[in-house]
Amino acid sequence: MFPMKYPVPQSDPPKSPRETLPTMYDLKSENPEEPGLPDEFHDWQAQLLSLTFCPPDYPVEEVFCASDMNLYYDVRHALWYKRPDWFGVVGVPRLYDQVDMRLSYVVWQEGVDPFVVVELLSPGTEKEDLGEFEPETLAPESTEREANGQAIEPHAKDKPPRKWEVYEQVLRIPYYIVFSRYTNQLRVFKLEGARYQELELPEPRVWMRELELGLGLWQGEFQGVERFWLRWYDAEGNWILTEAEQERQRAEEAESRAEEAETRLESLLQRLRESGIDPDTFLEGQ
């Protein structure tokens, strides 16, 4: 799997993780045989999330989001990964090393964990997405952490932790969002201390003050399909528009301004006629 043996022995002075640990170029980026590959809704919903994920305090070149991408989270088990339906990261270069599009997201190389993860429920993944598994498989209440912040694996060495445990206990992702397109139910889990706590939502939306951005259910048409979609909104409660929507809005505003100008001109011409002035003759004289 790896083109060279990892981990690389350290030297004096020590080498950086880029030189001693596996990078995205060393780790597989896809597995066609893996069950639960995205359906049409998963693709389109992820697109809408990415197109509207615009945290105002971060320039676009410091925001990264991805869907159905391998997320490698444990340097001691470098081949273990999860594949979120969508996740967003802030404070990292948009491009890997500011040069290349990512093949996967490798946390020990990036140095920044995702801030928010969205899972779109499907019958085959619902129980794991919601952390509904036997109590004896859960990790201890307090997870010991190494000096570099990496959680020490509480499971048997040959058994990766569940998705919920990775998000909650290993990566400690602040917000975990779960959405069912079958019931249009939005559930939001926020990291409080060592555990996720489900938030009570008076309405199907949540404000993330750390990002100055909110996520909620929007009913509208995207990709020709009218339904409820997850999308981001700003501090004023306005849905963030996609680039295509912005262009359409600008075109509609320009058309509206042209119609208003034409109406004002027609009104002026009418007043001239009522005053006994033939505007056509006047204009011809000019």
Q: What is the pLDDT along the chain (286 residues), one digit of tens a residue?
A: 555 566 666 676 877 777 788 988 888 877 666 655 678 999 999 999 999 999 999 999 999 999 999 999 999 999 999 999 999 999 999 999 999 999 999 999 999 999 999 999 987 777 788 877 554 444 444 444 443 444 444 445 678 999 999 999 999 999 999 999 999 999 999 999 999 999 999 999 999 999 999 999 999 999 999 999 999 999 999 999 998 877 776 656 666 676 776 778 778 777 878 777 877 776 565 5
Asked, as a colleague might, if the bond just before 13 is cis with ω within 30 of 0, I would say yes
The strand ranges marked E within 199-238 are: 205-208, 213-222, 225-233
| Predicted local confidence at residue 5, as pLDDT | 61
| Predicted local confidence at residue 111, as pLDDT | 95
CA distances from 103 to 18, 23, 30, 55, 99 (A): 16, 10, 9, 23, 12
Displacement of CA 98 from its chain's centroid (Å): 19
Strand 175-180 to strand 116-120: parallel, antiparallel, or no bridges (unpaired)? Answer: parallel
Report how far residue 248's alpha carbon sits from residue 66's, in angstroms, rounded to the nearest whole number.
26
- What is the end-to-end Cα distance of the chain in Å, rounded? 81
| Predicted local confidence at residue 3, as pLDDT | 54
Strand 71-72 to strand 105-106: parallel, antiparallel, or no bridges (unpaired)? Answer: parallel
Written as one letter, the residue type at 133 is F
Helix (H) or strand (E) holding 175: strand 175-180
For the question of whether the overall pTM of this predicted structure is more than 0.95, the answer is: no
